[in-house]
Amino acid sequence: MNIVKDGHPFIFAFAIITFAVGYWGSLIWAVVPAVLMLFFIYFFRNPNRPTQSDDSIIYSPADGTVMAIEDFYDEEYLNEDAIKVTIFLSVFNVHVNRSPVNGEIKYQRYTCGQFVPAYKKSASFENERHAIGVQNDKMRVLVIQVAGLLARRIVSWVTLGHNLKQGECYGMIKFGSSTELVLPKNVEILVKKGDSVVGGVSLIGRVH
């Protein structure tokens, strides 16, 4: 179990506050910042998850619950009829995003926006979002990080030209969000609405 470096400032800050309140104030009141410190440790956790590489399958890019599976025409990257799988992440889920496939990042776009609750359908269009398009010999996929009501920053650790491995961590969204996975129509979807998925472990689809 690792802790994402973006969480270190939160954890250290509340550790100092806990010590200061407990030392110069009251041990009872020190419980509040101590609980917040433990929450940030929990939220920014990054479990070690070995992912078996297989170019015929697509792994989940995030932990959470499948909110929707829909057909639509993707004009952002695939430029063809596609399937979108939307995964909602609560504050209790691991928030690190993982690459669903092996491939090179051929497309990247960050869009400023609002902070509509991530479970609402309008969040896909109105909220802050960060999209990467990954391509390999078999397909192209688009993964979109969408900020939620509490999320105030999308974090990305990659850029154009970066070669991602399946299950490799490439970013996260702080404090509640959703992740969208846009796939070509030749992918057989292996999940349904309401399913719980685990990033880098659960199978979302299989290439025909």
What pLDDT is attached to residue 93? 92
What SS3 state is found at 131? strand
The pTM is what? 0.86
Place of tokens 């590489």: 53
**Percent above pLDDT 70 for the chain:** 89
Residues 86, 7 share a domain: no
What pLDDT is attached to residue 154? 86
Q: What CATH number is associated with residue 148?
A: 2.70.70
The two beta strands, 129-135 and 154-156, are unpaired
What pLDDT is attached to residue 81? 97
What SS3 state is found at 53? coil
Instruction: Quote the DSSP letter at residue 5.
Output: G
Is the Cα torsion angle 156, 165, 207, 48 positive or negative in sign?
negative
- Mean pLDDT score, 50-58: 93
pLDDT for residue 175 is more than 90: no
**177 catalytic, yes or no?**
yes
pLDDT for residue 153 is more than 60: yes
Tally of domains within the chain: 2
Does residue 66 lie within any of the structural domains? yes
Per residue in 109-143, pLDDT tens? 998 765 555 445 544 555 688 999 999 999 999 99
CA count, 13 A, side-chain hemisphere, 59:
27
Q: Which of 177, 178, 196, 202 is catalytic?
A: 177
DSSP run (H or E) holding 174: none
What pLDDT is attached to residue 126? 59
Residue 72: count of CB within 10 angstroms of its CB: 10
Q: What is the mean pLDDT of the chain?
A: 89
Angle at which helix 27-43 crosses helix 8-24, to 10 degrees, equals: 170
- Mean pLDDT score, 5-32: 93
The CA distance from 38 to 198, in Å, is 22
Residues 91, 15 share a domain: no
Residues 164, 66 share a domain: yes
pLDDT for residue 152 is more than 60: no
Which residue segment(s) compose the domain that 172 sits in?
57-194
pLDDT for residue 72 is more than 80: yes
Q: At a CB cut-off of 8 Å and minimum separation 6, what does 14 contact?
A: 33, 34, 36, 37, 40
Report in angstroms the alpha-carbon separations of 57 from 129, 190, 193, 200, 205. Answer: 25, 10, 19, 11, 6
